[in-house]
Structure 1
Amino acid sequence: MASLPSNGLQAIRRSTLAEEVAAQVRRSIISGQIAEGSQVSEPKLAEQLHVSRVPVREALVELEHDGVVVFDHRGRCQVRQFTKADFEEILSLRLNLELMSVKLAAEKVTSQDLALLKSNLEALEEEKDVTNISRLDVEFHDLIMQAARHERLRVCWHTVRTQFELLLAKAHRWQAANDIPVSDHALRGHRPIFRALSAGDPEKAVQQMQKHIREWAEWMPADETTVA
């Protein structure tokens, strides 16, 4: 049988039901609509989303890999409650992964990378919705990982980024409830990182990223990142 001519086209991969379910549940957890510590019922989710329990189960296993839900010994699922130890582990991973990524990005950054980062900053400056601010904040860090062009580093980042976004979104909601400008911290940290990347200065980029992450750790309200 003759093969199809090569014309630059590739097969399109359709997302599975499980991936769609995982995406919806992940968004609901990050936005706080499904609260930390709450039970996640497979039958209820299946009914709400009009799917069978099989893709729901697969989705919850994916979210377990993301670190945002846990299963008990009976197989019951609940949203993870983050402890101070969890936060410190996430902080230590961020310091290791993101300092490496921003150094590599400063060495390899392209005009297209910079355009995407600039667009992200501009969107963050205009955004008022708290959940979208959290999404844009994490997206900035995703774009730096992308600019680093280190596949295994990106895979490592993926293991912690949803947990980071969840904690960040929770703190952003706390800020909004206390009339604190939500995007200010991100913009203060992201702008000098962007300038260092634009200048192709790895040393400065690392310094600014380290400062940004350390300030994030100091700024995060303790009662919003830990439980008793």
Structure 2
Amino acid sequence: MTVGPARRRGLSSEVADVIREAIFDGRYAPGAPLREVELSEALKVSRGPIREALQSLEREGLVRTEWHRGATVTALSVQDVAELDSLRGALEVLAVRRVVDQASDESLELIEKAATAMDRADTPHEMVRCDIAFHDAVYAAAAHSRLTRAWQAIRSQVHLFLITRVNVSTHGYLEQIREEHRDLVAALRLGNVDGALKLFAEHRRHAFDVLTSGTSAEA
């Protein structure tokens, strides 16, 4: 096991946080088994909180449980990929329109700051975190509470989507993502809705195309 003990015993939410982070940083890859006994020993908690944590992560879409296999990290199917891409696209259209129409200078600065943080990302998994943080800033700037909750409902799955994308190929990934997000910030700053929507769609399509092509390349 490569995860450390939870800081406090008996807290299923904290156990879920530890397992989620292990998934997001690549210690548990899609399809990897999540065995209650092993997790209980590694995290030094009883199996009850482990089971509750796995159920919580299953509701997020990060874990799948099958009677003959137990719990595993979700491996996205072709249908999962298509559904996440289309739903993410629908939410982003509203978010981008609202940001262009009414975002404050302070909110735009936070979006730009999130993009600038990508310059410090040295690994694909760090860059995926920065990518998610950038989109968090976009949804925050949209100032639409129900839209933000809709994004939060799929956020972990989109994170897994992007991890799956970098597992397919990391060739040119770090610089490509930096450039794309600099362009996204510039489009939002210009206030051109159609131009911004086009660039956000292209950004999504690049990830979708890599994921669905099945091609692989060395970083």
TM over 0.5, shorter chain: yes
> Could you tell me which residue of structure 1 aligns to residue 182 of structure 2?
191
Distance in 1 (alpha carbons) for counterparts of 2:199 and 2:140: 18
Identity of counterpart residues, as a percentage?
29
Letter in structure 2 aligned against 1:209: F
Other structure's SS at 2:28 match: coil
Query: Could you tell me how far 1:50 is from its partner in structure 2?
Result: 1.5
Map Cα deviations across residues 118-153 of structure 1 (whole Å, 9 max, x no partner): 222222123212221110011111111111111111
CA distance in structure 1 between the aligned counterparts of 2:25 and 2:64, rounded to whole angstroms: 18
| Residue in structure 2 matching 1:204, options 154, 177, 195 | 195
User: 1-side partners of 2:65 and 2:211: how far apart?
Assistant: 27
Relative to structure 1, the CA distance from residue 112 to residue 53 in structure 2 (aligned partners, 3 Å threshold; closer, same or farther) is farther
Whether the 8 Å contact between 2:114 and 2:134 is mirrored in structure 1 is: yes
Q: Is the 8 A contact 1:189 1:212 kept in 2?
A: yes
Unaligned runs of 5+ in 1: 1-15
- Distance verdict in 2 for CA 1:63–1:41, change over 3 Å: same
Q: Which residue of 1 aligns with 2:77?
A: 83
If you compute each CA radius of gyration, which structure gives the higher value, 1 or 2?
A: 1
Letter paired with 2:180: G
Do the aligned partners of 2:111 and 2:134 also contact (CA within 8 Å) in 1? yes
Match of 1:223 in 2: 214
How much does 1:173 deviate?
4.3
Shift in Å, 1:175: 3.3
User: Which protein, 1 or 2, shows the higher relative CO under an 8 Å CA cutoff with sep ≥ 6?
Assistant: 1
Q: Which amino acid aligns with 1:140?
A: F
Letter in 1 for 2:203: H
Output the CA distance in 1 between the equivalents of 2:199 and 2:44: 47
Cα drift, residue 67 of structure 1:
0.7
RMSD: 2.4
| Deviation of the 1:74 alpha carbon | 6.8
Q: Could you tell me whether the CA contact under 8 Å between 1:40 and 1:79 is conserved in 2?
A: yes
Deviation at 1:69, TM superposition (A): 0.7
Q: 2:158: which partner in 1?
A: 164
Q: How does 1:164-183 map to 2 (within 5 A)?
A: 164-176=158-170, 180-183=171-174
Once residues 103 and 38 of structure 1 are traced to their aligned partners in structure 2, the CA distance between those partners, rounded to angstroms, is 39
Q: Check conservation: 1:35, 1:79, Cα contact below 8 A.
A: yes
Kept in 2, the 8 Å contact 1:131–1:169? The answer is: yes
Q: What amino acid maps onto 2:95 in structure 1?
A: S
Query: 2:6: which partner in 1?
Result: none
Q: Quick check: 1:65–1:159 contact (8 Å CA) kept in 2?
A: no
Change in Cα spacing, 1:219 to 1:163, as seen in structure 2 (3 Å) is same
Counterpart in the other structure of 2:65: 71
Over 3 Å counting, the alpha-carbon distance change for 1:219 and 1:37 in structure 2 is closer
> Structure 2: which 5+ residue stretches go unaligned?
1-9
Match of 1:54 among 48, 52, 77: 48
Provide the residue aligned with 2:126 in structure 1.
Answer: 132
